[in-house]
Amino acid sequence: MKRAEKQRQIEAGERVRCMVPFCQRTSKLSDDERARPEIEWQWVCGKHWRNVRPIYRRAHSQHRKKYGAANGSPFWRKCVEQAIARGCAT
């Protein structure tokens, strides 16, 4: 897929960028996610997700399993902070 097409999809709300600054990776939103445009979806790509300490990844995953994905995890902010801090260094 060409860069211009991805940019159009991001602006149309069909794709979301990785939260790490200057990362060019994107992910396509599911139909369920696109049906809820009031939510600002956030995503960390696999390359930067590996930079997050396993204890925070595990806590985030357990919270989502217990309370559901739409609830939001209190550990998400910490995961994003670590992905950004360690991702920008690489």
Residue 37: phi, psi to the nearest 5? -70, -15
**Do 83 and 48 form a contact (C-beta atoms < 8 A)?**
yes
User: What is the distance between the alpha carbons of residues 45 and 88, in angstroms, rounded to a whole number?
Assistant: 13
Model confidence at 90: pLDDT above 60: no
Per residue in 47-83, pLDDT (tens digit) is 999 999 999 999 999 998 888 776 678 888 899 999 9
Kindly report, residue by residue over 13-51, the tens digit of the pLDDT: 889 999 999 998 999 888 888 888 878 888 999 999 999
- Kindly report the pTM of this predicted structure: 0.78
Distances (CA, A) of 24 to 5, 6, 7, 45, 50: 13, 10, 10, 10, 17
The pLDDT score that the predictor gives to residue 89 is 64
Q: Tell which wins on pLDDT, 4 or 71.
A: 4
- Please give the Cα distance from 62 to 83 (Å, whole number): 19
| pLDDT the model gives residue 38 | 78
